[in-house]
Structure 1
Amino acid sequence: MKAIVTATPKLQGEIQALSSKNYTTRYLLLAALADGTSTVRFPAHSEDSDAMRRCIRDLGAVLEEDEHKIVIKGFGKKPQPIEELNVGNAGAVLRFLMSTAALCQSEVTFINKYPESLGKRPHLDLIHALEQMNVKVEHNEGRLPITIKGGQPRGGRITVSGNVSSQFLSSLLFLTPLLEEDSEIEVLHDLKSKVIVGQTLEVLEQAGIRIEASEDLMHYRIPGNQSYEAKEYIVQGDYPGSAAILAAAAVTESDVTLHRLDENSRQGEKACVDVLRAMGVSLTHENGIVRVQGTGKLQAGEFDGDHFTDAVLAMVAAAVFAEGTSRFYNVENLRYKECDRITDFLNELRKAGANVEERQSEIIVHGRPEGLEGGVEINAHYDHRVIMALSVAGLRSKQGLIIRDAHHVAKSYPQFFDHMISLGAQIELTNE
């Protein structure tokens, strides 16, 4: 599918933020690892959350779903034997379930359905940690296909690198409470996206799991022989996807309201509200409602992107139209996502006429308040965050933009284009 984005001067309207993908996938896994029946209310509907639904069902969980909730009977510590698992293009789902698969009494192979995206992403840091736990792993230099030969994972002292992704640590935190032995996890080097680790610790606590974490989140003590409680979970609104809507409102003349965005959320991407404020955008955030009254005029700034990883691209797209030079630093982990979200994304912005530079862990944006020339067809690199951010750029491109493979936005936000169009964005969707 192609998205043809035409210059749009004004956006107006109200939408309900979609449910959080990150919380949905975590709650689904908690429910599967529990003995008993749990309920997840207002789950996200996206390719990633659908991948987790599919995989936990394959592993033996029983799911019943209606419009507002999923009821899940978990498999606890005993997932059923399964030869293959298909996680689609969902990196977090793959990494979380690599540890869960270690509980299976048979070999489990994670297949490679997206060789040009997830198939290129590295997982060696998690593999090395699992091998310390008596789990044998067959792999392609750390990449898919990956076969887990588990059955008897052991706790104890475990080290894992946090340099590439916090998802490796989260994966171990889901598994280790179920093991017979107590565990101690030490994070080596650095830990990316600490805020997202905080989300993992938050949901584990909700499920009745006890974990002692150091203040810097680099050391953990996990008692063994724990069990996940069967509970009811309510999924909050999603900041990463909403960041693109808020950026779109910021770069146009607008009056846009988003509901279900909790001011006290632990989602790091909540910081996108503060980033836009720092850029001079007029907005309010109270009672779970964000209202943007945009003028299209923004000021450049400097921002630590590690605090809001999945909102960085949307904020970069806003900065493209700011007065002055913006800098987003501490963002190297963007290189290890569905695509290289630094090099690949900036190459596409340049095609549209943006003046952007990259460093290994930085994005530098020389703003063009007059707008971009556009008039080109650009590559989405199979990446939902790239698609959303390029759509924002298209709103201020004189000749518009054509985004290829735009259907991949469904990975996290299937309703994105519907929501944008409902607010007045001039976007046409065509089958290629």
Structure 2
Amino acid sequence: MVSGGLTCRLTRRNEQGMTQQTTPSHRPLRVSRAQAPLSGSIRVPGDKSISHRALMFASLAKGTTHISGLLEGEDVLCTAAAMRALGADAVQEGPGQWRVSGPGVGQLKEPDNVLDMGNSGTAARLLSGILASHGMTSVMTGDASLRRRPMKRVMDPLAGTGATFLAREGGRLPMAIRGLADPKPLDYRLPVASAQVKSAVLLAGLNAVGETRVEEPVATRDHTENMLRHFGADVSVEKAPDGGRIIRLQGRPNLVARDVVVPGDPSSAAFPLVAALLVAGSDITIFGVGLNPLRTGLFTTLQEMGAQLEILNARTEGGEPVGDLRVRASALKGVEVPPERAPSMIDEYPVLAVAAAYASGVSRFCGVEELRVKESDRLAATIALLENNGVRTAVEGNDMVVYGTAGHIPGGGKVETHMDHRLAMSASVMGLVAEKPVEIDDTSFIETSFPQYLDLMNSIGAGFVA
């Protein structure tokens, strides 16, 4: 974190009345095999992707938006702090309840200080699109993990607006952006499917005169398109000749405040869900989980592996499909996951790899190169997570191969999380079924996406002792 930057990890209520959290200290965890089945009903925190976008779009809309179910992890609090620094009024009115008033598209102000995006690559990349399309100079930074992650993938297309960028070698934070009040509209084809890059380009197009066009080779999560429509933008989506998608946005819309209900995050639901599948005799229900079809690749894959996973009470809330998940312990078998499914489950591969390690047979996850540029080199870290605990794996090109143990993960290893919250949670799930305890070097960064994760898991019987 840059000294003097906008911190988003405070223990007190700030002047806007928003509860914030302290900088996490190092918290190792030793996880032993579960002594009883997991049972009960839970709710997971609000969807992180939608929470970031809700704050950003509400800040760009005229009027006051009320957000319910906002994830209040550190990453999202950093986004709230950044939008306040840019001139929006973002106030917490209760747990998960926020009021956001924005000045309108193109009307954000230059921040007085450095914008600290914490651990969130989503926030940093999406906000780059906003900053590039406003006539201001700004600087973004983040924690040690985020400062190692490449931003060139958004810098390159956004430079087409006329904005200029100055970053460390490889396009890494801290990064200075000199935006334009009259940016050029973009016509960009993504070389690799990425919802973050797509969203950055669309956000830049909001303040550009004319049509912004984005073509993606494979459909990625469409929360940005859904929320643009929700706030009144003119967005169209069509199928590309090669099977991908083309998204068109008409610039300078009059975005109008609209209330937002944030569903439970399917990526967060993945951890108690997989734990219940693996721990013998378990039966849990997870209420109010987002079921956007571009986010549910994990659920499809687990059902192909033999998971007893039911979707109950399917409904629509805030423009997004939602349902309740009933999960029962299941005998899983290996599966091959096609590359075109990767964008719909890119964040869930580490915990899916744990499920595959416990299953019988061999699993192959195809086209997972995007894992190399997540919070860590998540592909290498997932391989290390498994192999350090006695599970055989392989990387073949852009594919990850896991050789299942048929319910006999040896365990006994130490997991290096590399400040990656999803690796830490995946390791905790593995520890619940491994034959020897699993040591996790640090669980503090779980707070970035899943506040009170250990407590919630203990409420269904995990028995974690921090």
Write the distance in 1 (CA, Å) between the matches of 2:248 and 2:193: 22
2:306 equivalent among 280, 287, 296? 280
**Cα drift, residue 164 of structure 1:** 6.5
**Cα drift, residue 399 of structure 1:** 1.5
CA 1:428/1:92 → structure 2, altered by over 3 Å: closer, same or farther?
A: same
AA at the equivalent of 2:128: M
Write the distance in 2 (CA, Å) between the matches of 1:285 and 1:186: 33
What's the TM-score once normalised by structure 2's chain length? 0.86
| Residue 427 (structure 2) aligns with | 390
Q: Is the 8 A contact 2:194 2:343 kept in 1?
A: no
| Residue 243 (structure 1) aligns with | 270
| Residue 200 (structure 1) aligns with | 224
CA 1:316/1:145 → structure 2, altered by over 3 Å: closer, same or farther?
A: same
| Residue 19 (structure 2) aligns with | none
Q: Deviations over 1:230-274 (max 9, x none)?
A: 111111111001011111011112011111125xx3253323222
Equivalent residues in 2 for 1:161-180, closer than 5 Å: 161-163=190-192, 165-179=194-208
| Residue 103 (structure 2) aligns with | 75
Write the distance in 1 (CA, Å) between the matches of 2:432 and 2:295: 22
**Cα drift, residue 121 of structure 1:** 1.6
- Three-state SS of the structure 1 residue aligned to 2:295 is helix
* Alignment of 1:8 onto 2:8: no
Write the distance in 2 (CA, Å) between the matches of 1:34 and 1:388: 36
1:100 equivalent among 124, 130, 141? 130
- Three-state SS of the structure 1 residue aligned to 2:465 is strand
Q: Is the 8 A contact 1:195 1:267 kept in 2?
A: no
2:151 equivalent among 108, 112, 123? 123
AA at the equivalent of 2:65: S
- Three-state SS of the structure 2 residue aligned to 1:260 is strand
Q: Is the 8 A contact 1:213 1:221 kept in 2?
A: yes
Equivalent residues in 2 for 1:25-104, closer than 5 Å: 25-65=52-92, 66-76=94-104, 77-82=106-111, 83-104=113-134
Q: Is the 8 A contact 1:95 1:167 kept in 2?
A: yes
2:292 equivalent among 250, 266, 269? 266
AA at the equivalent of 2:239: E
Question: Which region of structure 1 is more displaced relative to structure 2, 117-126 or 51-60?
Answer: 117-126
- Three-state SS of the structure 2 residue aligned to 1:427 is coil
1:145 equivalent among 174, 197, 207? 174
- Quick one: higher RCO (CA 8 Å, sep 6+), 1 or 2? 1
- Three-state SS of the structure 2 residue aligned to 1:89 is coil
Write the distance in 2 (CA, Å) between the matches of 1:282 and 1:44: 28
Q: Deviations over 1:137-181 (max 9, x none)?
A: 1112311111001132422343353427331120121231222x1
**Cα drift, residue 312 of structure 1:** 1.8
AA at the equivalent of 1:281: A
- Structure 1: gaps (5+ residues): none
| Residue 261 (structure 2) aligns with | 234
AA at the equivalent of 2:161: M
Write the distance in 2 (CA, Å) between the matches of 1:249 and 1:108: 45
* Alignment of 1:294 onto 2:329: yes
Q: Is the 8 A contact 1:239 1:267 kept in 2?
A: no
1:159 equivalent among 182, 188, 194? 188
- Three-state SS of the structure 2 residue aligned to 1:55 is helix
Q: Is the 8 A contact 1:128 1:160 kept in 2?
A: no
Q: Deviations over 1:355-397 (max 9, x none)?
A: 1111232111110024222223221111111111111111111
- Structure 2: gaps (5+ residues): 1-26, 314-322
- Three-state SS of the structure 1 residue aligned to 2:252 is coil
* Alignment of 1:399 onto 2:436: yes
Q: Deviations over 1:264-288 (max 9, x none)?
A: x325332322222222222321112
Q: Is the 8 A contact 1:18 1:44 kept in 2?
A: yes
Write the distance in 1 (CA, Å) between the matches of 2:192 and 2:121: 16
CA 1:410/1:267 → structure 2, altered by over 3 Å: closer, same or farther?
A: farther
Write the distance in 1 (CA, Å) between the matches of 2:324 and 2:142: 40
Q: Deviations over 1:336-373 (max 9, x none)?
A: 10011111121121111111111232111110024222
Write the distance in 1 (CA, Å) between the matches of 2:285 and 2:387: 31
| Residue 17 (structure 2) aligns with | none
Q: Is the 8 A contact 1:63 1:70 kept in 2?
A: yes
AA at the equivalent of 1:266: N
Write the distance in 2 (CA, Å) between the matches of 1:4 and 1:290: 28
CA 1:13/1:157 → structure 2, altered by over 3 Å: closer, same or farther?
A: closer
Q: Is the 8 A contact 1:111 1:145 kept in 2?
A: yes
Equivalent residues in 2 for 1:316-395, closer than 5 Å: 316-395=353-432
AA at the equivalent of 1:212: S
AA at the equivalent of 2:256: E
Q: Is the 8 A contact 1:182 1:221 kept in 2?
A: no
- Three-state SS of the structure 2 residue aligned to 1:24 is helix
| Residue 9 (structure 2) aligns with | none
Write the distance in 1 (CA, Å) between the matches of 2:380 and 2:143: 24
Q: Is the 8 A contact 1:162 1:169 kept in 2?
A: no
Q: Is the 8 A contact 1:178 1:227 kept in 2?
A: no
Q: Is the 8 A contact 1:84 1:108 kept in 2?
A: yes
Q: Is the 8 A contact 1:243 1:269 kept in 2?
A: no
Question: Which region of structure 1 is more displaced relative to structure 2, 53-62 or 168-177?
Answer: 168-177
| Residue 209 (structure 1) aligns with | 233
AA at the equivalent of 1:397: A
Q: Deviations over 1:277-307 (max 9, x none)?
A: 2222223211122111214x21111113333
Write the distance in 2 (CA, Å) between the matches of 1:157 and 1:201: 16
2:464 equivalent among 422, 427, 430? 427
- Three-state SS of the structure 2 residue aligned to 1:244 is helix
CA 1:159/1:274 → structure 2, altered by over 3 Å: closer, same or farther?
A: closer
Query: What is the root-mean-square deviation in Å for CA atoms of aligned residues?
Result: 1.8
Q: Is the 8 A contact 1:255 1:293 kept in 2?
A: yes
AA at the equivalent of 1:291: R
